[in-house]
């Protein structure tokens, strides 16, 4: 029997592949690439940066996260030991970023001269969510997998270079070109651009949707997460990511959201925190209401220290704005930011 390495987006899909009876080893590509610094570095170096970022966010101990990334990377680098590698991904931003990172890796480690000695490289990329797909449908998806073409490798490589660039206009230029080899990529990258501060009030789309959800009154986190997810054509944010957004908007001297009694929101660090967090009510503050109405600007108020791919937005020193009407990035005049 030929050996197969399956690479997919998360534990749920990984478990479904195993349960489905499809032969092979499963590698879960755990990384939330739409959050934190994603620099143009070799894989192992970038993994150290990513591990330190997640540790700094209170999502685990740095040593453990580094070890998890190192084990993941080591497995990937042994890909030539397999007869076949199958990439299993979805249509949303979370998955498309993982897919292009892997395509960039294979592009750099693939050549026509060595193609006969490399494993077969295939892809399953669905319109929908692998975690919501019935386990009995997985063998059919596997049978319908398609070979990764040279065009896919090129588009993946170009996409990764654009996303890891310190100039976000590289993403705009990229999606203005031919991305048909990866049909879900353009819309996913467009959604990434919507995370830049709005030209209207400095809020990202995700931040704006959260404020809008609680504008009618306090909500528990489960209902809040449900409402903002319903606003997405392709859901890409998990609950911990959304919890991090709430903490960020609650942490400044003039918070935009708080708990209903006025306390600062902190995303859960352990199971005990999680229970308390999910039972608490999230409320819009007066500052949040003013920003949501476009009367004040979140970035001018201090905004947030945030990375989007290779771009670092540093509070008031965040020049890039997203114009949702023109569907393009703008750079503010330096005098505006003071």
Cβ pair 224, 260 in contact under 8 A: no
Strand spans (E) along 78-159: 84-89, 120-125, 146-147
pLDDT at residue number 273 = 73
Distance from C-alpha of 225 to C-alpha of 244, rounded to nearest angstrom? 12
The CATH T-level fold of domain 205-337 is Arc Repressor Mutant, subunit A (1.10.10)
State phi, psi for 149 to the nearest 5 degrees: -95, 170
The answer to whether residue 120 scores a pLDDT higher than 70 is: yes
138 — pLDDT class (breaks 50, 70, 90)? very high
Instruction: Using the structure block, give the residue that is written with the tokens 């750099």.
Output: 108
Query: Rounded to whole angstroms, what are the CA distances from 304 to 100, 165, 231, 270?
Result: 27, 20, 23, 24
- What number is the average pLDDT over the span 272-284? 84
User: What average pLDDT score do residues 34-40 get?
Assistant: 97
Query: What 3-state class would DSSP assign to 14?
Result: helix
Per-residue pLDDT, averaged over 48-59, amounts to 92
Max Cα separation, the chain?
A: 66
Question: Is the model's pLDDT at 115 over the cut of 70?
Answer: no
For residue 112, pLDDT over 60 is answered with: no
* Pairwise CA distance, residues 6 & 290, whole Å: 48
Sheet holding 305-309, edge to edge: 36-37, 305-309, 311-314
Q: What CA–CA distances, in Å, run from 301 to 126, 291, 315?
A: 41, 10, 8
Annotated domain spans of the chain: 4-193, 205-337
For the chain, percent of residues with pLDDT exceeding 90 = 81
Q: pLDDT class for 113, splitting at 50, 70, 90?
A: low
């Amino acid at each position: 029997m030929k050996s197969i390495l399956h690479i997919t987006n998360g534990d749920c899909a990984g478990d479904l592949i195993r349960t489905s009876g499809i032969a092979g080893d499963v590698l879960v590509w755990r990384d939330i690439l739409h959050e934190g610094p994603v620099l143009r570095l070799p894989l192992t170096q970038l993994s150290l940066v990513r591990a330190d970022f997640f540790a700094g966010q209170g999502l685990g101990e740095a040593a453990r996260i580094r070890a998890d990334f190192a084990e993941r990377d080591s497995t990937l680098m042994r890909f030539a030991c397999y007869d076949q590698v199958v990439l299993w991904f979805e249509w949303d931003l979370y998955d498309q970023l993982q897919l292009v990172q892997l395509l960039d890796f294979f592009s750099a480690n693939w050549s026509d001269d060595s193609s006969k000695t490399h494993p077969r490289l295939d892809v399953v990329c669905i319109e929908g969510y692998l975690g919501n797909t019935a386990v009995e449908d997985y063998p059919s998806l596997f049978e319908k997998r398609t070979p990764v073409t040279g065009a896919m490798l090129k588009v993946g490589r170009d996409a990764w270079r654009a996303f890891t660039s310190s100039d976000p206009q590289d993403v705009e230029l990229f999606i203005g070109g031919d991305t048909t080899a990866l049909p879900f990529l353009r819309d996913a990258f467009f959604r990434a651009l919507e995370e830049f501060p709005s030209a209207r009030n400095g809020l990202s789309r995700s931040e704006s949707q959260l404020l809008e959800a609680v504008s009618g009154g306090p909500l528990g986190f489960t209902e809040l997460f449900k409402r903002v997810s319903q606003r997405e054509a392709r859901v890409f944010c998990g609950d911990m990511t959304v919890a991090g957004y709430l903490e960020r908007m609650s942490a400044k001297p003039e918070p935009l959201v708080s708990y209903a009694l006025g306390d600062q929101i902190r995303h859960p660090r352990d199971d005990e925190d999680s229970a308390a967090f999910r039972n608490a009510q999230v409320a819009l503050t007066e500052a949040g209401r003013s920003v949501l109405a476009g009367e004040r600007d979140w970035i001018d108020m201090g905004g947030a220290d945030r990375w989007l791919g290779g771009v670092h937005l540093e509070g008031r020193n965040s020049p890039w704005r997203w114009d949702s009407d023109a569907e393009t990035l703008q750079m503010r005049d330096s005098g505006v930011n003071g």
